[in-house]
Copies of this chain bind each other. A is one copy, B any other.
Amino acid sequence: MKRDSVKIGVIGLGTVGGGVVSALRRNRAEVRARCGVDVEVSRVADLDRSRLQGIRLPDRSLTQDYKDVLNDPDVRVVVELVGGTGVARKVVLGALGAGKHVVTANKALLASSWAEIFALAHKNGRGVGFEASVMAGVPIIHTLEVGLAGNKIRSIHGILNGTSNFVLTRMDNRGVEMDRAIEEARKRGLCEADHSLDTEGHDAQQKLSILASIALGKWLPPDDIAREGIGHVEKQDLSEAREQYGYALRPLAIYKNIGGRIEARVHPTFIALDHPLAGIENEFNAALIQADTAGPVTIAGKGAGEKPAASGVISDIISLARAISERGDQGIVVPRPPDGRRIRITPLAEVESKYYLRFSVVDRPGVLSFISGALGKHGVSIATCHQRGRSESGTVSIFMTTHHARDGALRKALAAIDRRAAIVKRSTVAIRIEE
């Protein structure tokens, strides 16, 4: 049965919500051509009356109570752009409960309530589009869910947080320290007053939770993902690694499925300068997916911003509207419902990696012997080692790279080394190397 229009309701009229409404109006002909039907924004809700008045819609379409949208029998798709995990969760579950399809850009909600949302969506046969939740308008969700369907996903290496990537590449390209790079990010509107969601890796952790859950077909909760921020990195780490080893530092979110052994972690990571992700600079995002049949697939673009996010939301609205117009409500593409079994993530202590190490030590005989002895005692094998000449303070930097070592063993070795206050002047910096 063909319908003349599919009516949607938008809840939350911030910059993305406003952008979605105006882009649907501006590109109405294109949208109709894609869907075979008009997409009509018939209801919008926002607590803020002034935002409602900014939308060019008849008064009867405007409401301050989101429940009016959920209770409107004409609304087939609810677009949740409230954000957060409080009201937004009620909106999403309420809409699915009322038999509506849902589009959301809400990474925090999806990551924290994945099992609950998709179990309800599956039970009620309703679709949930969430393209904009990761990498905004760059279609990473469709790529994993549809384009690479039938592949086993062996790994995902993602630069999923634009702010952290801006800060690290800025430090590297301009030779500035982190504070200065964060200040520049702030001036460009790339980061909030409190930047810790970005620089501490929480944002990337939520996004990796979503990507890994699709790849696995099971929920991988964000709290199960090991997380390390970029705060301990100094500009000398970037310059030494580039000059000595040909490495660039990127804030990576890493998922691996090694024959059923699952790793998931977020941390700054050195990669070779010719690695596909080394060319991703500033606020750009990218993901390198290793698929068993397709091989390596990289997808990159603007991972944030109002317009890119609106693009992701609109692509979901179009997919749903097209399906509704052609088939009615049944059988929208829904991620597989998680099977409820808990996934065992390999504990970080058991994860193996190569490491870059920077020791800040006094310059005197026996220091190198002490360090290499402590590493060797814990089974950590040194690949390269060099020292930078004495600084004014009498402290020197010793740089090392290791062969593959277990994280737990390395941490024990470093703890033993850092405990020797007569030799070690500052905490040792350890950064993983990925090949």
A residues bordering B, Cβ < 8 Å?
23-24, 27, 30-31, 33-34, 131, 136-139, 142-143, 146-152, 217, 274, 276, 279, 286, 291, 293-302, 305, 307-308, 310-312, 314-315, 317-319, 322-323, 326-327, 330-331, 333, 336
| A192, B430: Cα distance in complex, Å | 49
Residues of B within 8 A of A274 (CB): 279
Residues of B within 8 A of A31 (CB): 150
Residues of B within 8 A of A323 (CB): 331
The answer to whether B330 touches A311 (Cβ under 8 A) is no
Q: Which of these, B30, B148, B300, contacts A152 with CB under 8 Å?
A: B30
Given the interface pairs A146-B146, A146-B315, A297-B299, the reply to whether A331 lies near B336 with Cβ below 8 Å is no
The answer to whether A143 touches B147 (Cβ under 8 A) is yes
A selection of 25 A-B contacts at a CB cut-off of 8 Å is: A30-B150, A33-B336, A137-B148, A138-B294, A139-B142, A139-B146, A142-B142, A143-B299, A147-B315, A149-B315, A150-B317, A276-B279, A286-B298, A291-B311, A294-B301, A294-B307, A294-B312, A295-B308, A296-B301, A298-B298, A298-B299, A300-B300, A322-B333, A323-B331, A326-B331
How many whole Å from A273's CB to the nearest CB in chain B? 10
How many whole Å from A307's CB to the nearest CB in chain B? 5
| A150, B131: Cα distance in complex, Å | 13
How many whole Å from A344's CB to the nearest CB in chain B? 19
Residues of B within 8 A of A33 (CB): 217, 336
Q: Which residue of B lies closest to A140 (CB)?
A: B147
Residues of B within 8 A of A317 (CB): 150
| A311, B274: Cα distance in complex, Å | 26
| A275, B24: Cα distance in complex, Å | 32
The answer to whether A23 touches B327 (Cβ under 8 A) is no
| A34, B215: Cα distance in complex, Å | 11
The answer to whether B308 touches A294 (Cβ under 8 A) is yes
Residues of B within 8 A of A307 (CB): 293-295
Q: Which of these, B142, B146, B297, contacts A301 with CB under 8 Å?
A: B297
Given the interface pairs A146-B139, A299-B298, A300-B298, the reply to whether A293 lies near B311 with Cβ below 8 Å is yes
The answer to whether A293 touches B149 (Cβ under 8 A) is no
| A308, B291: Cα distance in complex, Å | 9
Known A33-B336, A143-B143, A150-B318; further 11 A-B contacts with Cβ < 8 A:
A24-B150, A27-B150, A27-B152, A31-B150, A137-B297, A150-B311, A279-B279, A295-B301, A297-B299, A300-B300, A326-B331
The answer to whether A297 touches B138 (Cβ under 8 A) is yes
| A300, B147: Cα distance in complex, Å | 13
The answer to whether B279 touches A311 (Cβ under 8 A) is no
The answer to whether A23 touches B139 (Cβ under 8 A) is no
Q: Which residue of B lies closest to A145 (CB)?
A: B34
The answer to whether A330 touches B327 (Cβ under 8 A) is yes
| A295, B19: Cα distance in complex, Å | 14
Residues of B within 8 A of A293 (CB): 23, 137, 307-308, 310-311, 314
How many whole Å from A125's CB to the nearest CB in chain B? 9
Residues of B within 8 A of A30 (CB): 150, 152
Residues of B within 8 A of A139 (CB): 142-143, 146-148, 294, 297
Residues of B within 8 A of A315 (CB): 146-151
| A308, B300: Cα distance in complex, Å | 20
The answer to whether A295 touches B147 (Cβ under 8 A) is no
Residues of B within 8 A of A297 (CB): 137-139, 299-301
How many whole Å from A169's CB to the nearest CB in chain B? 12
